[in-house]
Structure 1
Amino acid sequence: MKDWWQATFPQGRQSLIISDVDGYPVQIAYGEKGTGKPLFLLHGMGSWSYNWRYSVAALSKHFRVICFDAKGFGFSDKPWLRREKNGHQVIELARVIQGLCDEPAIIVGESIGALISLALAQRNPQLIGRLIVMNAPVFAERLPHWAMEILAKTPLEVLQAIDYLRLAYWFAPLVREVMATERRKVLFDPSILTPEDVYWITYPFIELPGTLVKVAEELQIAAKEIEDWQANKPNLLSQIQTDLDKIDCPTLVLWGDRDSWFPSTHGERLHQRLPNSQLQIIDNCCHDASTGAAKEVNQAILKFLQDTNFL
Structure 2
Amino acid sequence: MDYQAFRDRQKTIDLDGIIDVPLNVAYTDIGKGEPLLLLHGIPTWSYLFHEVIAPLAENYRVIAPDMIGYGYSDRRDRFDRSIEVQADVIERLLAELDIKSSHFIAHDIGGGVAMILADRTPKLVRSMVLSNSVAYDSWPVDEMLALGHPRNARMEPEQMKQLLEKAFEFGLSRPERLTDEFRDGIMAPYLEPEGIVSLVRNAASLNTNHTTPLTGRLSRMSQPTLMLWGVDDRWQPYSTAEQLVRDMPNASLHAIENCSHWVPQDAPDEFANTTLEFLIGLE
TM-score (norm 2): 0.92
1:289 aligns with one of 257, 263, 279: 263
Q: Report how far residue 20 of structure 1 moved.
A: 5.5
Alignment of 1:216-231 (within 5 A): 216-222=200-206, 225-226=207-208
Instruction: State the superposition RMSD in angstroms.
Output: 2.1
Q: 1:90 aligns with which of 87, 90, 97?
A: 87
Q: In structure 1, what is the equivalent of residue 36 of structure 2?
A: 39
Provide the rounded CA distance (Å) in 1 between the counterparts of 2:243 and 2:17: 33
Q: Which residue of 2 aligns with 1:128?
A: 125
CA drift at 1:177: 4.3
Spell out the pairing of 1:64-75 with structure 2 (5 A cutoff): 64-75=61-72
Alignment gaps of 5+ in structure 2:
none
The structure with the largest alpha-carbon Rg is: 1
1:118 to 106, 115, 125: 115
1:6-30 CA-to-partner distances (Å, cap 9, x unmatched) read 67xxxx1211111263343101001
1:199-218 alignment, distance < 5 Å: 199-207=184-192, 209-218=193-202
Q: Within 2, Cα distance between the matches of 1:212 and 1:177?
A: 13
The question of 1:107 aligning with 2:104 is answered yes
**How far did 1:49 drift?**
1.0
Task: Give the aligned partner of residue 232 of structure 1.
Answer: none
Secondary structure of the 1:31 match is strand
Change in Cα spacing, 1:74 to 1:150, as seen in structure 2 (3 Å) is same
Aligned residue pairs total 282
Retained in 1: the 8 A contact 2:69–2:81? no
Query: Conserved in 2, the CA contact under 8 Å of 1:42 and 1:107?
Result: yes
**Within 5 A, what are the aligned runs for 1:1-311?**
3-5=4-6, 12-19=9-16, 21-84=18-81, 87-146=84-143, 148-152=144-148, 154-155=149-150, 158-160=151-153, 162=154, 167-168=156-157, 171=158, 175-207=160-192, 209-222=193-206, 225-226=207-208, 235-309=209-283
Deviations 1:243-300 (A, max 9, x none): 1111111111111111111111110100111111111111111011111011111111
What's the secondary structure of 2:211's corresponding residue? helix
Contact 2:19 2:79 in 1 (8 A): no
Gaps of 5+ in 1: 227-234
Q: Identify if the C-alpha distance between structure 1 residues 182 and 93 changes in structure 2 by more than 3 Å, giving closer, same or farther.
A: same
